[in-house]
Amino acid sequence: MRSEPTIGLNMKICRWDKPFKANLSHMEDSLKKEGLSSYLWEDSPGTYYPTHSHPYAEVRWVVEGSITLGVSGEEVTLYPGDRLDLPADTNHYARMADDGPTIYLCASKQK
């Protein structure tokens, strides 16, 4: 995966740049090796989460569809295989594409 410069104040993006399709099993294994607990989540087309934050660092890793996230006045769209790492307490919003469901892994460090 290819890292992009940090977006906004804290958002780190890793783009999928492998010559093969992202594999859910590989993603889950990678997160587990990082000590992260994950679960699969699906949002309907057009789902929107207004600006909010979480008290824990979070990871979103797109399996299918796309998601646009906004932090500090900047937006980035993630596609299958792309990963977002967002530190705790970072205000952000999320908007799913209108053309189909968005499926992604959610992960965080378990205390």
Domain count, the chain: 1
The DSSP result for 46-96, as a single string, is: T-EEEEE--SS-EEEEEEES-EEEEETTEEEEE-TT-EEEE-TT--EEEEE
| Best CA proximity match to 104, nearest among 71, 74, 69 | 69
CA–CA separation, 47 vs 16, rounded Å? 23
pLDDT tens figures, 96-110:
999 999 999 999 875
Domain that residue 10 falls in:
2-109
Q: Is residue 7 over pLDDT 80? A: no
Q: Is residue 2 over pLDDT 90? A: no
**Which CATH number goes with the domain that contains 32?**
2.60.120.10
